[in-house]
Amino acid sequence: MLIFELFANGRWNEVGRCLPGQAPGSMSDTQNGVRHIFLFKCIGEQSTIYRLAPGIDVEVEKSRLVPTPLEDSEVVATLRAGESTTITFKTDKAGDAGRIIRFRHV
């Protein structure tokens, strides 16, 4: 299982999970005028975080449609049990400081 947590108020707060077989989760990141989409998914014994190649994405309610194939994307991290990585996301909602997200595979 992949757990993602937001660092706020001096501690990590769980904000979501991806289980094996579920659709990937996604977050957008805009830095230096360039927008990227990150996809993350759990495939059982490991979880993978991708930065998609620049392209078009469409948000529809709670879903994001991304036509970019994963094989054209950068693998940011591959996590196994007990491993984690952090990424700072800057979005229109996060303000100048961005949001620090930790991804943990358990």
Judge whether 47 lies within some domain: yes
Q: Quickly state the pLDDT bin for 27 (edges 50, 70, 90).
A: confident
Alpha carbons 22 and 103: distance in angstroms, whole number: 16
Number of domains making up the chain: 1
Judge whether 104 lies within some domain: no
Question: In terms of Cα–Cα distance, which of 103, 85, 91 is closest to 64?
Answer: 91
Judge whether 49 lies within some domain: yes
Question: In terms of Cα–Cα distance, which of 39, 45, 42, 11 is closest to 27?
Answer: 39
Q: Which amino acid is at 23?
A: A
Of residues 28 and 68, more confidence is placed in 28
Judge whether 105 lies within some domain: no
Tokens describing residue 10: 């001096």
Length of the chain: 106
Judge whether 57 lies within some domain: yes
- pLDDT tens readout for residues 54-88: 666 666 666 666 666 677 789 999 999 999 999 99
Question: What residue numbers bound the domain in which 53 lies?
Answer: 2-89
Q: For position 96, what pLDDT does the model report? A: 63
Judge whether 96 lies within some domain: no
Judge whether 95 lies within some domain: no
Alpha carbons 28 and 39: distance in angstroms, whole number: 9
Work out the angle at residue 17's Cα, subtended by the Cα atoms of residues 57 and 87, and round it to the nearest 5 degrees.
60
Judge whether 97 lies within some domain: no
Q: For position 79, what pLDDT does the model report? A: 98
